[in-house]
Amino acid sequence: MKLDNIPISKIDFDDDTYLLGSRIDSPLLLNSIKEIGLINPPILRDKNHVYQIISGYKRLKACKELGIEEVFSRVYKSGEISNEECLKIVFYENQERLSDMERAELLLKFKRLCGLEQNELTQRVLPFLGIVPSRKNFEKYKRLAELEREIKDAFYSQKISIEQVIILSEMPSPIRIEILNRVLLKSKMNTNETREVVREIIDITARDKRDVKEIIDEIEIKIGQRDVKTDLLRREVKLMRYPMLARVEEEFKGCLKSLNLPKDVTVHHPPFFEGNYIEFRMKIESAQRLSEILSYLASVLHNGLLNKLLGIVKEGRQRGNFT
């Protein structure tokens, strides 16, 4: 290995053999190099006077965009370093900031570039990458590594979380792309909400023998195609998955109407009937008004309508869980 000034024109930017992570340019990196220069020299391999990038792809690309003609680099001769040694350099250069996705990509590069089999990847490479060696973890990171670029870019641009990526990785390819573009990128959901919505969409496709695209088409007709609130999306998926919930919802509204509550009192059931309770909300302007409302609610309690309302909520919970 030697230190040398290498012309940017002789660096092969089309060779992404050792590139990990986002392909998206970083304005922060470009501005940093513009202001203070390139502090950490990139690492290259000389392949007949055309230089392959081992580490520093994004730094070099920023230098190229800034019009820098030569870059001080660490250079290995072609036969001086193996693919496995190059991959280890990539890891050591980036280990402090590697995401699970980048570790997955690196694992796949060890497999493809070094010809390592599953057992060696599991027992030797996973611990090297800081991952507990097990067949389950090998399969998990392999699935992540083999995901479509579209999903990886959504993760690297922070549009979806690594937990959502893992959920997508457990699904067949055409389905996960449809879910990504038409569900996850349009509605902000946490991990549990994502898992629930995805599971129920898959259940609907199996039950109705329809594809995911048809199911999402139907949902979009009801809620629109733009960004939607998570609760609205979950509600429509729930109603499609458990159609009896719609009937229970109507029963709840009918019973609530018969209570003839004052306008300053509202009653709510838990979202999707996921609970055995009802919630009363009151707007009061005086102690006298509160006393009147409580007296009315006491009369409602005695006529049995409140128990009927609670019974409907309980039925809705059963329908949502088991229908």
Helix 100-114 × helix 135-145 angle, to 10°:
90
Q: Work out whether strand 70-77 and strand 43-47 pair parallel, antiparallel, or are unpaired.
A: parallel
Token pair 């392949």 is at which residue?
A: 47
Shared-domain flag, residues 220 and 294 = no
Shared-domain flag, residues 60 and 4 = yes
Shared-domain flag, residues 176 and 225 = yes
Shared-domain flag, residues 255 and 232 = no
Is 146 within the bounds of a domain?
Answer: no
Shared-domain flag, residues 235 and 165 = yes
Give the CATH number for residue 8.
3.90.1530.10
pLDDT of residue 245: 73
Is 129 within the bounds of a domain?
Answer: no
Give the number of domains in the chain. Answer: 3
pLDDT of residue 301: 77
Rounded CA separation 200/241 (Å)? 6
pLDDT of residue 322: 47
* H or E stretch covering 229: none
Is 219 within the bounds of a domain?
Answer: yes
Tokens representing residue 164 in the block: 């959502």
Residue 66: which domain range?
1-81
Is 98 within the bounds of a domain?
Answer: no
Rounded CA separation 248/50 (Å)? 70
pLDDT of residue 165: 97
Is 94 within the bounds of a domain?
Answer: no
Regarding pTM above 0.85, the answer is: no
Is 90 within the bounds of a domain?
Answer: no
Last residue of a domain, one of 48, 81, 114: 81
Last residue of a domain, one of 241, 257, 276: 241
Q: Can you list the positions of beta strands (E) in the chain? A: 2-7, 43-47, 50-55, 70-77, 265-268, 279-282
Last residue of a domain, one of 47, 81, 115: 81
Is 234 within the bounds of a domain?
Answer: yes
Shared-domain flag, residues 4 and 54 = yes
Shared-domain flag, residues 224 and 291 = no
Nearest to 178 by CA among 141, 151, 209, 143: 151
Is 128 within the bounds of a domain?
Answer: no
Contact 177, 152 (CB under 8 A): no
- pLDDT mean for each 10 residues of the chain (323 residues): 94 94 79 85 93 94 92 93 96 92 97 96 97 97 96 94 96 91 92 93 92 92 78 86 78 84 86 80 89 86 80 74 50
